Amino acid sequence: MSTPDKSTIEHFLHGQVECWNAGDKEGFFGHYRSMAGKGLSIEYVGHPERDAWQVLENMWAQQSSKIRIEVKATIINGNEAACHHRNAFVNGEGGVETIEVYRFDEGLLSVRYFVAG
């Protein structure tokens, strides 16, 4: 497994958002499994470290029916990406801005979530 190229990274970034918004849990987790065969780390900046797969499970269980992701910006440089997302509340009453930083190595995916307020 080699370090993913820009096209592969774009496919992951856009695909996981599309699956989230479609309520496709299997597809959403499939995108993560495809990039993290050797390991996954997820950090909510400013919070204690937790098991990354459990973080995704909890995120899905608690937020997937309440949040629709709106992509504001995506920047890919080499094997890293930064995304600005608006996590819009499905009920139409606001949302939460996030900056998400991804690092893609050979089978390893590291994610850092910066969540506004």
How confident is the prediction along the chain (117 residues), in pLDDT tens digits per residue? Answer: 678 999 999 999 999 999 999 999 999 999 999 999 999 999 999 999 899 999 999 999 999 999 999 999 999 999 999 999 999 999 988 999 999 999 999 999 999 999 987
pTM: 0.94
Question: How is domain 6-115 classified at the CATH fold level?
Answer: Nuclear Transport Factor 2; Chain: A, (3.10.450)
Q: How far is CA 88 from the centre of its chain?
A: 15
